[in-house]
Structure 1
């Protein structure tokens, strides 16, 4: 028996010292003793490891091809001498930097409780085709897997950041699943085989050059990335993606320079919160034929759409104030371009080479300043310039066009719409406040050469008219402020007063909306009453041909509604003798106007109407809804289902338990909460 044990021990030691495989039970810092053979190619390690053991692997195990650390616990380590770079402190659960750099690894099993993979830990492992990342992982360091032979990677949802160049230049990487977090700069740079990219709703930012040069990448779904805040410079440049839809990315504010340059994008939609789009964002996308620009974007940067395939009619975003150098350079398929009223500067050669132009529509009443050779190469004598004032016909570079003065009667602030903001702009002019922009000809309704209260009356008549050509609404929501009618009950044949409430963070001097009443409810138009918030305001209502009631509120002193919440007017409605169940009142086409003539467009709201039975009042009394520290709170005596409606119209169903319920993670703004037959208006701050 003794001879057998000695022989077994001899064989095991011989395997570890001279063979190609090994099984090692290790205690942290002792791998050099437990695995002395530097020629080992395959090893399974159990027990504990720390940075000293990974240093031994990095420096000594040059022939290592397979390593299984599934049952290893990585413990923290402090050293007096740096082991990797200048680092002397190593956290538990972390695979240190460059631990397996350049190894000929073909298979790796990571410790189950690995939380971080350090800088270039597996970089250059060209033969490593696959790896399973453990569910405890939170951080993938810079260049961790760059230059490896990975063919696919599924990143756990626990990972909060993927470092710079983490998977860059992985020539065989074809499929990536990334649920959330921060995608670092150049994270997947030049992964030329990458064709399947699945991004999860938890993605917060996409870094500079993150997917640049992924030439096989054709389809990327970005529509559901509600937490995405930023797309970095060159993030998707020189890929093959065919469309970009960011319209549902409600947190996205920034698109970097050349982010989508050199792609196959044919159409692009930008989210309404995008305020900054970098230089050359869509440069040289020759298949791009159409793009929608949000009102929040103030500048078209240099080269933004240069050498794209934009064609037909193109409208510059309504919030744009300046157009950068070469912004539309060589865009030769656009026949009509519309320049919004806020533009005050157009840069050098911004529209040079736009040889397909036949019509330019400009809205600024003050002629924008120009850089050099703005329309170089354009046959200006063959292009009609439709402008609001004759000043364009005398201005340098503009005067070479075929001038045609054009404006819309009543569009006083020259924004392309006729609504209550034109009334406040006109009143501001009458009060001597010199609003800008201001189109005198559009304001002079009766053409007598003077703008006064008579013209205000004419403008009101235009707005109240049912003419589809005169009344225009922006449609897109541009403010979280809200106009709504609280849910109410009414008996058949009853006449009652209902409130129209305004919840506003900004100050407004005018209001306009359309109220859609069901057939069994009728507005008593002679009984529209102000509240303490609207003292001095004039209210005008007119029924349209389709039964809609268009309502206007303004005052000749142009002072603001008082306060920031509550009723601003009261309507009187009468119910018919028969009331169908499920009645609603819709408030839409809402315009809120400042005293300076600026227009803001809230979301539409819907009011629930029920027959008065007393049940609603009892159920409501047992339910409390309020906000506390950015958290929605619903207190209920019984289980229920609640509907949470945001100002953009999106609706979410909430499960309400009996007692105290809290709901966090809501974006700041106003919400309608419907529960127990009642609606509650809540502000999350």
Structure 2
């Protein structure tokens, strides 16, 4: 869908792999490296392009070419160019030098205007030099008699000898503030040059008078208010200069800077501390020297300044023309006001407005838009125009000499737009301010400076994570990334959707509070209110079954209670399920004991790897078949036969109806045998369906002793009507070892007979005995369940 695409340059010597739909248009020009056209003409899908063109080999330094009317020379291979003299005659008309040139698949930066590049091009009428140019060569514009204005951009660092010599039509020049070195006679024989705007802040001194750059035609010389040093010999021989203003920023003036300025009658120095000068900076001292109010004594005491015979303090003015400090966002349009504070009435004014690069005044059909406020008189008009030094001169007057109303407030309004890359701290300056009264009195006001904070707004914000899981009391730090990188205000406000679950501080540090979910959000503070969020899930801490942030024996009790059919208050299933197998049993109790004994919460993946469920084929938990008389109480032995050692177990015992588990002091009469370890404990509970759940474990992970015999005793009682054949089942049998290996044992069933005893019959009494299958038994060797026949009396009885 790149419908505007007209040119594709691919610098790969081997055609990259593409698909049939990588490009939607094959009619555009395809430029490929020299010698590679056949490879592209045969490559899949590349061959669909109808116009494949080979690029020329990369140009070496010193190579020249012509592009869009200008001739260039490569000065840094693959990177930089200089504009040079045309090989096809002289340049003419308006010349616009581009900041970059795309040639032969390479984008070059134009950084220099070569020696003699436009020399003797008398038909050139205007030249626009881009900000990319840092040097202007010797005689670069020599003899360009059609030029009337020359603005040397702020990024130019050096100007060569005779660069603008013999430019007879030149009237105004502006020297950018970064110029460091200037060659000899750069404006020699420019007889109409009358106005110079010198903005160079730290230009090197000229070493001889004959090297001074300007001829005596100059009548107006302006120094920018960022100039710190006025070079030696700079204004040497400007015999038609009548006045000069030295800005407050100047700290030193070189030797002979104003030598032979014979018409100079007024010098205004706005620096509150006298700049350092030499004995010959000024060659005579009869001119009036104006200094800031309160600074006369300092100048009278300063070396060489004290040679001036008439030092006058500038009266403090109660009149001020200014723009308030402001902030503006890149790409934003903002209305500004020029304010006038005045204790006396004025009818008109003029002022030069200096805007930083990247800040443009709104225009209509090429004219700047300035609007007078309601402080204007009935016929006040305002007009403006750009000066050679880049300043915008504002002129406001009344034909009928009406005065501005009021004594404070905005007098002019205008709108400015910041470029998309306008970022940083800048200044707007209003200089050369002159007000007029109706009696033609003139007031010159000091320059004013407005501070501009140029900001880049955030375009996007992202967090380094969109989801994170934490356990209670754990912390993590979220990182917010705001783009673009040069966003001016990169602070954010952090918030939590539920501070009962997780909180976040001003640095993005998240602290988990309680189980649940919360959304942590970072929001930009530059007015864009962009935001990015991360879902924080506070998960249980393994083993902290009661969610009190401590893992101890209470958690074992809580889990045991849950296994036995109760759900204690505050119970957290996910925390109790230490083995992460989706169920809670004896293995989780042993795992919690492990945590307590090691004082460490195990890594979940490591723990899962350690938990193994096996079937213990050589182990069995069972009750032997037995019988019980109605109303009788007896102790049932739950036996364990085991070929491996166990440290804990749980099991469900189901008693038949009529056989009851005895209690003592409200506790079920279930006990461990002497196979228990020193710290084995046993607990039990009756579940809602009547199942007896038995749970035994060791806090020190001791094993049960032996390999055979009773492990648990249950005391039971048969009701008065418990007669017949019944079953006792043991199910859900789980044993565990100290290393968390889990074993499942097969369910077992025992038979129990409920009998009615025969009064007066004992086991040793003579009788005929039969087993339950009707086969005779000669002499019962032990007590048991028999059919007893005595005479004609038959009964199923238990023999003890």
TM-score (normalizing by structure 2): 0.33
- Structure ranking higher in strand proportion: 2
Larger Rg: 1 or 2?
2
Which structure has greater helix proportion?
1
The normalised TM-score by structure 1 is 0.38
